[in-house]
Structure formats: structure tokens, C-alpha cells
Amino acid sequence: MTVEIPPDLQQFVDQIIGAGDYKSEADVVGQALRLLQERQRRIEELRREIQPALDRLDRGEGIELDDEGLDAFFEDVKARSQAESAAERESQ
């Protein structure tokens, strides 16, 4: 199989081969395909993880927040994050 690499990407490929990161264009393409495969796997994993939440929303089990409620939610998340960070720093 022959793959035509666009000129802007060919320059990048030549650069990383020249730097010794990869031995050939085939190595670069192989690694790119492995990364694409991993990305696709992760997307599917994330879809499976969020599907239960989407199903709950479809059943009307979600909570509607107005701007004030949303602001309060984010302030709570921020405060808990800061408290966790402070506790982590103290334990070090």
C-alpha cells in the first residue's frame, strides 16, 4: 500500500525521521495509526461510560439548574477541589 502524505505533514515526517525519532515513513505511519486506534478505543470507552447518564436524562431523572444554581454548583466543586489540594499539601 502506498500512502501519499500531504506536503505540510511530509515536512514534519522528514523532520522527525531526521531527528532519529523514527527510522522510516512506515514507522511514522504505523505509530500514527496506533495512536488513532487508541484514540478510537478511548472514545468508545467514554461513550460507554457516559451512556448510563444519558439514559437517566432521557428518563427525566436529571436536575435542571438555572444560572444561580449552576453558579452555586461550580462554586461547590471549586471549594471541594481547593480543600482537597490543601489537604494533599499538608500531608506532604
For the stretch 28-66, what's the b/e string if a residue is b when 16 or more beta carbons lie within 10 angstroms of its beta carbon? Answer: beeeeeeeeeeeeeeeeeeeeeeeeeeeeeeeeeeeeee
Q: Where are the domains of the chain?
A: 1-61, 64-92
Share of the chain above pLDDT 70, in %: 100
pLDDT attached to residue 33: 96
Model-level pTM? 0.61
pLDDT tens across 38-74, in order? 999 999 999 999 999 999 999 999 888 899 999 999 9
